[in-house]
Amino acid sequence: MRRRHRYLLYCLLSLFAFALIALAVEFAPAVRAFDASAVAALAAARTYPGVSLMLFFTELGSAVPVTLIVAAIGIVLLARKREAPLTAFSITLLGALSSYLVAKDVFALARPDVFFRAIAVTGYTFPSGHATMAAALYGSLALSLSHALEIARGAEHTRALRVCIAVACALVALMIGISRVYLGVHFPSDVIAGFALGLAWLYFGNYAALHHPHLKRLNA
């Protein structure tokens, strides 16, 4: 299977996962009960060092760090005239941002009770914007770095390094999602749905960049 076809398949699977979670949250009382019990259990088990650590990770998914990382990646891709990766990156980030904002208003689900929150937040809970953008941004970072290494040094010589980069980016995104539940501002289903939505846009952005004839030539 070609790379762009894999991206399309992964995009559809991610969207399917998001739809399943959304249906479960709306119509499965057991999911809501699990969400509530998970938030309550984590709130009861919180420690000061734990909160400090999770605040660090939640900040990595906040507006300022995300904007700085996006700007840095965009500048590098522009300077190197990498039009295909830049197109994929733009589609991924803009799509992820706009879709989670729309989804929050469509589902209009309340956040965990303020009693369980370690920080002050506003707005609806589903899906988690931090998780959506973490999957889209750090996924894009992993793919961009991996592709650059593959072009510069070859696939075989960089396999281990590319795996390390992918694992590191995935762990950062995962910790951002976990931090939102630990801090009591999201339910687990919000975070999982956010990951699925962000990954859908990650794969769609890369599929679109590889599918366009002009960009396929530039990316070769």
Angle at 59 between CA 56 and CA 62, to 5 degrees: 170
- Sign of the four-CA dihedral 19, 22, 23, 29: positive
pLDDT at 220: 43
pTM: 0.90
* pLDDT interval class at 83 (50, 70, 90): confident
Q: Give the amino acid at 14.
A: S
Q: Which residues does 99 contact at the CB level (< 8 Å), separation at least 6?
A: 132, 197, 201
pLDDT at 59: 92
Residue span of the structural domain in which 48 resides? 3-219
pLDDT at 214: 53
On average, the pLDDT of the chain sits at: 89
Q: What is the mean pLDDT of residues 85-89?
A: 85
- Total structural domains in the chain? 1
